[in-house]
Every structure is written in C-alpha cells, then in structure tokens.
Amino acid sequence: MHLAEPEWTAFFERYRPLALRIAAGLVGADLGEEVVQEAARHLIVRARREPPLADVTHARNHFLQAVRHQAVSRLRAEVHRQGEDSDLEPADPAASGASAIADAEELHVRAARLEVALDQLGDEEREALDLRYRQGLAYPEMAARTGRAVSTLQARVEAALRKTRDRLGIPHTHA
C-alpha cells in the first residue's frame, strides 16, 4: 500500500487508539506510545522498500502485528535485564470481549504473554512442547524421533506446562 505522507498520517491516526490499547496491555501505558511509534516507523520503512500491501485491512493487520512484536521485544528485554521471572500480567487487560476489536486485542495480549512465557523455558522443555502440541506427536513417536525415554519426555512436557501456567497466572487443575 503506497501512501503519501498525509495518507500515512490519516492511517496512523485512525488505528493509533487500537494500537495503543494493545501496547498498553502488554508494556503499560507509559511505554505504549513508544511502542506504537516504533511500529509505525517500521511500517513506513517497509513500505518504502517492499511491494505495496494488498489493502488497508492488510496494512492494519501488519501494523498491529508490528505493535505486538515491538511490545514483546520490550518485555523480553525487561525479563533479560531482570534476570528473573517478571510479572507477565498486562497492565490494563482487554475489555470484556463484547466486540470483535476487544476480542482481537485480548488475543494479541494473550499471544504475546504466552510467547514471553515460552521464551523463558529451557530448550529441552520447549522442544518437548513443540513435538507434543505443535506437531501432535504421541509420546512413543516423540521418543523414537529424539532417542529419549517416554518418561523423560512426559516429565519435560509436564514441567514446561507447569512453568508456563505459573508465569501466566493460570491455576493448576488436578485431574
């Protein structure tokens, strides 16, 4: 989507409130504006060097993804700086979900929080989760692929799920 300077201004002003809500939900209101500005700069630079985006909806989605990625990068940097688990609760959780926009905001916030929590897992735990849930493998298939014992893989998946739930503030369920 090639836009002239006044069109970019109108585009960002139109989607800035939504982008600010997403950013503030992840990094807090005080850093939200910075995150949105960084994402806007990213989109402008991309537009100057790449083919145009298909339409305004595609550009909006790309902009909101850029906001989320900038916010996640900030969260990762903060977690790295602290060297310990940080409070991953959003500063301002999304509203009740009554509208599609609120639902989209909530999904962005949840995805970013999950991404940060998964980044804090060890490589072996992350690999076990990937094999089990993304690739849909049964434990015997995982064992055959990795050469590790089924019990080891089960323990890694359980530990990874427990750590992720703890970091996301999700209560443990006992079956």
Does 154 lie in the same domain as 99? Answer: no
- CATH classification at residue 132: 1.10.10.10
Does 153 lie in the same domain as 132? Answer: yes
pLDDT at 148: 95
The Cα 92–Cα 25 span in angstroms is 5
The Cα 135–Cα 15 span in angstroms is 35
Q: Note whether residue 173 is domain-resident.
A: no
Secondary structure letter of residue 87 according to DSSP: -
Q: Flag whether the pTM goes above 0.95.
A: no
pLDDT at 12: 83
Residue 134 sits in which domain range? 123-168
| Below-70 pLDDT ranges, the chain | 1-6, 50-58, 79-105, 107, 173-175
pLDDT at 32: 85
Does 79 lie in the same domain as 158? Answer: no
Does 73 lie in the same domain as 35? Answer: yes
Does 144 lie in the same domain as 93? Answer: no
Nearest C-alpha neighbor of 60 from the set 23, 12, 97, 129:
12
Which DSSP string do the residues of 19-58 spell out, in sequence order?
HHHHHHHHH-HHHHHHHHHHHHHHHHHHHHHSPPPSSHHH
pLDDT at 10: 83
The number of distinct structural domains making up the chain is: 2
